[in-house]
Structure 1
């Protein structure tokens, strides 16, 4: 190994790490509502919704649908999205209710939450960062994975 090369790391990337990466992506490239990515621009790093930013954090590139991900990346995406949903359920619940007043889905949809007219880029970025902190709080002990 050359002195300028970084040694390989064996550290496991956690959902918290990927949530932070998604938040950083939105800070750098912008937030979007309605679809995973802003299709009005032809750039490899378009503004994204929360789920789109998580997809980019996991895959390293735009992902139009999670079915395009390979096994390991898909597992990371689903675990990270689940951690975000758990956070939203606890701290930003937004439940879809039918015309009779019954809850349609027992979990907050990150897609509906992201697309809510009251949602803002700052709120989404803060939620991703706070979800990462919550994941760390629940899954680490003294900085080490449980």
Structure 2
């Protein structure tokens, strides 16, 4: 390979990141109330959004602005795909004492941190959100 040769780049979709996040949680564990159980470990247990960050950055991601603009965009699209899935299939909405809706969409943070939540539910939601993203954005493996 010549020094000027540019190797082909692989386009990672939000569905890819969601599946990688689910795999990360299966291999390294899940946590609640914090992105990563310990930030000094390369593979510490993570919450749903923390796992998406690990899948995107390959290390604990404390803020998405530390990513390249393309990676940050895919990271944010992945979280949006998870929120869309949760809104449709596992909504949690917060109502104030006057009965007004406080949140228009299900927060992946509140959903992850719900005391009744299990690691398997989080992993399954990530995988199903990925399937839903693929269903809406691809046709026969090709982007729509």
Whether these two folds match at TM > 0.5 is: yes
For 1:132, the equivalent position in structure 2 comes to 130
Q: For 1:111 and 1:95, how far apart are their aligned partners in 2? A: 12
Which of 47, 51, 60 is matched with 2:58 structurally?
60
For 1:97, the equivalent position in structure 2 comes to 95
Q: For 2:85 and 2:117, how far apart are their aligned partners in 1? A: 16
For 1:12, the equivalent position in structure 2 comes to 11
For residues 88-130 of structure 1, the C-alpha deviation after alignment (integer angstroms, 9 at most, x for no partner) is: 1111101111111211010000000000011110000000000
For 1:71, the equivalent position in structure 2 comes to 69
For 2:28, the equivalent position in structure 1 comes to 29
Q: For 2:99 and 2:30, how far apart are their aligned partners in 1? A: 31
> Counterpart of 2:101 in 1: which secondary structure?
coil
Q: For 1:11 and 1:52, how far apart are their aligned partners in 2? A: 23
Q: For 1:12 and 1:130, how far apart are their aligned partners in 2? A: 20
Aligned residues: 139
For 2:4, the equivalent position in structure 1 comes to none
TM-score when normalising by structure 1: 0.89
Q: For 1:136 and 1:20, how far apart are their aligned partners in 2? A: 11
Runs of 5+ unmatched residues, structure 1: 2-7
Q: For 2:84 and 2:69, how far apart are their aligned partners in 1? A: 22
Runs of 5+ unmatched residues, structure 2: 2-6
Deviation at 1:9, TM superposition (A): 4.7
> Counterpart of 2:86 in 1: which secondary structure?
helix
